[in-house]
Amino acid sequence: MLKLYIGNKNYSSWSMRPWVLLKQAGIAFEEVMVRFDSFDGDSAFKNTINAINPVGKVPVLLDDGLAVWDTLAIAEYVAEKYPDKKLWPQDRKARARARSICAEMHSGFSALRGNCPMNIEASLPQVGALVWRDKPEVRADVQRICDMWAGLLKEHGGPMLFGEFTIADAYFAPVVMRLKNYGLPVPGQVTDYIRRVCALPGVKAWNDEALAEKEFVDFDEPYRTSR
């Protein structure tokens, strides 16, 4: 059985992507939670992850002794291992487009990610309002995301970005949570997509388990002193 190493569900946006992908696709896996204590070299988190991943980060997928890290590599590996799940769009051009937007997410939107770290449990519209007012680079990131999503939803007819659920929807699930929890202003069709993503069983399962966590990780919460 696949084994997926992840960090805290409340905070770990990168862990959310493959977890939601596997859960939503109905692929069995064993979860190994490695809780964030510190990212220092001698922390329990680093000691555990360094033993299986030379980069020392989550997520990591283990399959029959093979370690696969980096969310794009994990997504590609799972898509190849389970072709019947149709995790990428079946049309060649749509598949290339889906890979392109996942790569864009992988390397971009740093302003949104940096100023609005994922926090499933928190409702932060006041923080979001200040970020929106003071950070034009965040507004630019959100505009690009809204244009992308609206165009794809129109082209493919929804309910997901490429019609049915694909890797692209799992990949943008943490962005959905950021837009929602920070109350960032988005147009109606994007709000509707956010609502549909949150209702996906895989996303709902992640969020429910994130809400059940009790840890407060101060270095992941620059805007609060307690949970």
Do 2-85 and 92-208 fold alike per CATH? no
How does DSSP assign 36-75, residue by residue?
Answer: -S--STTSHHHHHHHTT-TT--S-EEEETTEEEESHHHHH
List, for residues 50-67, the tens digit of each pLDDT value.
999 999 999 999 999 999
The count of other CB atoms within 10 Å of the CB of residue 147 is 12
Q: Tell me the angle at which helices 125-134 and 136-156 cross, rounded to the nearest 10 degrees.
A: 110
List, for residues 146-190, the tens digit of each pLDDT value.
999 999 999 999 999 999 999 999 999 999 999 999 999 999 999
Say yes or no: domain 92-208 is CATH 1.20.1050.10.
yes
- Cis-peptide, bond into residue 159, ω within 30° of zero: yes
Average pLDDT over residues 33-39: 89
Whole-prediction pTM: 0.96
* pLDDT at 79 > cutoff 90: yes
Domain ranges of the chain: 2-85, 92-208
Please list, in sequence order, all residues whose beta carbon lies within 8 angstroms of the beta carbon of residue 51, skipping any fewer than 6 positions away. none
Q: Tell me the angle at which helices 167-181 and 71-81 cross, rounded to the nearest 10 degrees.
A: 140
Say yes or no: domain 2-85 is CATH 3.40.50.1820.
no
Please list, in sequence order, all residues whose beta carbon lies within 8 angstroms of the beta carbon of residue 175, skipping any fewer than 6 positions away. 105, 109, 112, 145
**HSE of 88, CA atoms in CB hemisphere, 13 A:** 24
